[in-house]
Amino acid sequence: MSRRARMQALLLVGLVAFTIVNLVPILWGFLISIKQPADAFAIPPKLIFDPTLEFHVQVWFERGFFGFLLNSAIIAAATVLISVPIGTLASYGLARTRTRHASKVLFGLLVIRMFPQILLAIPFFVMARWLHLIDTYPMMIMAMVAMNQPFTIWLMRSFFADVPVDLDEAAMIDGCNRWQAFTKVVLPAVRPGLGVTALFSMLLAYNEFLFALILTGSHTKTLPVAIAEFGGEDINYWSISAAGAIGIMLPAVIFTILVQRHLIRGLTFGAVKG
């Protein structure tokens, strides 16, 4: 076996091991969700048991998790529809600006994204109370857009930076103005990156817990907050929490599988030039 073949084999083994390590908690959570609490926390663990869907039925049909899923979907979709267009326009401008002011703006956005979330959650809560927007969709959506915007701008800027400026100039020579060059030439060229940015923005909003805990209530409660209400010291709720955790994963996993082809294209966009 050649040295290159050995390196590829070692890499494959390492990737398989890494995947298994990451999948074990998910598999363990799924097993807990289909076990009775006495079986789920038996020592040593019971690998042979009578599976039950009782807790999944409780989560979705008796505890109203479909309503929480709808809340999460509304907030995530609105966040994507607002933050991605704004971030795309801002990142295009920053990618085409050849002054040091652009780097200062990008650095400022990065600093904001590095702030602890609790530091930003307090002002949002005060503002929501003052505007009487606690437990409403607009406040939660505004918070998610504000939190996701630095990430969206940085990610989209990297895609625009891979598109040669000559493409813009050629479009304008052919009669396009700046807006037409952007929408008809440059934007289609970064479409895979646009899909990646939308996907990650959706996942960040869909899985958000701290802001949802502070800004939502009984009418707009999201899935992460609803799941957190179960558990604690009573192990009888742990199986319900596990069923909810598996349930909250499924929409995101299904959506990711559906856009997998576009996701791979976007992640590899600009990797090969020439």
Give tens-digit pLDDT for 103-131.
788 888 888 878 888 888 888 999 999 99
In a domain, 113, yes or no: yes
Range of the domain at 134: 64-229
Q: Which tokens sit at 200?
A: 């990650």
Which residues are CB-neighbours of 30 under 8 A, at least 6 positions away?
Answer: 242, 246
Burial of 159 (0-12, 13-18, 19+ CB in 10 A): buried
In a domain, 273, yes or no: no
How many domains are there within the chain?
A: 1
Give tens-digit pLDDT for 212-227.
999 988 889 998 888 8
Looking up residue 69, the CATH number of its domain turns out to be 1.10.3720.10
State the average pLDDT over residues 3-23.
87
In a domain, 132, yes or no: yes
Give tens-digit pLDDT for 30-43.
888 888 877 777 77
In a domain, 177, yes or no: yes
Question: What is the pTM for the complete model shown?
Answer: 0.82
Instruction: Kindly report the number of other CB atoms within 10 A of residue 86's CB atom.
Output: 14
Q: Of 117, 187, 195, 109, which is closest to residue 151 (Cα–Cα)?
A: 109
